[in-house]
């Protein structure tokens, strides 16, 4: 399936309108929406968690003949919960993962209890910096990592990534913007789905864009004109 043809509104994903995975995700959406403590953080917020969920749903469509419906459900639950209750501050990401796993344990439905360890492993795979190389991970873990990294290439990346992370890290937005060059230069997607969605040319374009923006911010207005 071509990644460019994949669509899906949030309600259609939550209700499983295309019958990709087992059941529906309404309970987990309600849990995040009503109980998560990080919904309005500058970066690790509702938008980020559900941007990752939306992308993982796209990946499920792409790998519809490879992943089981149960694997897809596990992946989507993990995506929704991977940053739930994130502190929104600088600190060991292991603590944020622990909070996410605690929230997952609290809200897991009885029918998903048997797969709690699998879902937890997917959430743990997003701990950054990575402890395990992506190429050694199962496909679902590679998908959630690729989806988690993709925010830097989204349309709203300046607001979400630059200003969002600057606020959470206690840095100036210009400093975060300058740091994007190193991050993007080392960015590597591991799934075929993500490589098609974000080819190297797209990454190179974003690197060029960040450099141009830094130059504009540092140039006197008379020189820019």
Interval 198-225: pLDDT, tens:
999 999 999 999 999 999 999 987 555 4
Residue 15: is its pLDDT beyond 70?
Answer: yes
Confidence of residue 5 (pLDDT cuts 50, 70, 90): very low
For the record, the structure tokens of 155 come out as 């349309």
* Cis amide prior to 39 (ω within 30 degrees): no
Are the C-beta atoms of residues 144 and 79 closer than 8 Å to each other?
yes
Chain-centroid distance of CA 36 in Å reads 16
Task: Say how far apart CA 4 and CA 197 lie, in whole Å.
Answer: 7
- Confidence at residue 71, expressed as pLDDT on a 0 to 100 scale: 98
CA quadruple 139, 8, 88, 198: dihedral sign: positive
Give yes or no for a contact between 100 and 85, defined as CB atoms under 8 angstroms apart: yes
Q: How far apart are CA 215 and CA 139, in angstroms?
A: 39
CA neighbours within 13 Å on the CB side: how many for 225?
3
Other C-beta atoms closer than 10 Å to the C-beta of 152 total 18
Architecture of 3-224 per CATH?
A: Orthogonal Bundle (1.10)
Closest C-alpha to 56, from 26, 23, 85, 78:
78
Decide: 49 and 10 in contact? Cβ < 8 Å. Answer: no
* Residue 178 parent element (H or E): helix 173-185
Q: What is the pLDDT of residues 150-184, one digit of tens each?
A: 999 998 999 999 999 999 999 999 999 999 999 99
Identify the three-state secondary structure at position 87: coil
Question: Radius of gyration of the chain from Cα atoms?
Answer: 18
DSSP 63: T
Residue 1 has pLDDT above 60, yes or no: no
- 3-state secondary structure at position 112: helix
């Amino acid at each position: 399936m071509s990644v460019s043809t994949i669509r899906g509104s949030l309600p259609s994903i939550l209700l499983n309108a295309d019958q990709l995975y087992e059941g529906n995700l309404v309970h987990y959406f309600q849990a995040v929406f009503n109980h998560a403590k990080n919904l309005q953080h500058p970066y690790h917020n509702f938008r980020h968690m559900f941007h990752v969920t939306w992308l993982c749903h796209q990946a499920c469509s792409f790998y519809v003949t490879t992943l089981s419906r149960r694997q897809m459900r596990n992946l989507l639950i993990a995506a929704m919960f991977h940053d739930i209750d994130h502190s929104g501050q600088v600190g060991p990401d292991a603590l944020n993962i622990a909070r996410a796993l605690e929230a997952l344990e609290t809200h897991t439905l009885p029918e998903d209890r048997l797969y709690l360890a699998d879902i937890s492993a997917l959430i743990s795979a997003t701990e950054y910096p990575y402890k395990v190389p992506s190429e050694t991970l199962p496909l679902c873990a590679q998908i959630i990592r690729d989806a988690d990294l993709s925010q830097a290439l989204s349309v709203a990346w300046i607001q979400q990534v630059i200003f969002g992370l600057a606020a959470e890290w206690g840095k100036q937005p210009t400093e975060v913007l300058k740091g994007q060059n190193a991050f993007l230069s080392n960015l590597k997607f591991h799934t075929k789905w993500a490589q098609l969605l974000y080819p190297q040319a797209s990454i190179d374009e974003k690197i060029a864009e960040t450099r141009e923006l830094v130059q504009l911010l540092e140039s006197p207005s008379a020189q820019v004109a």
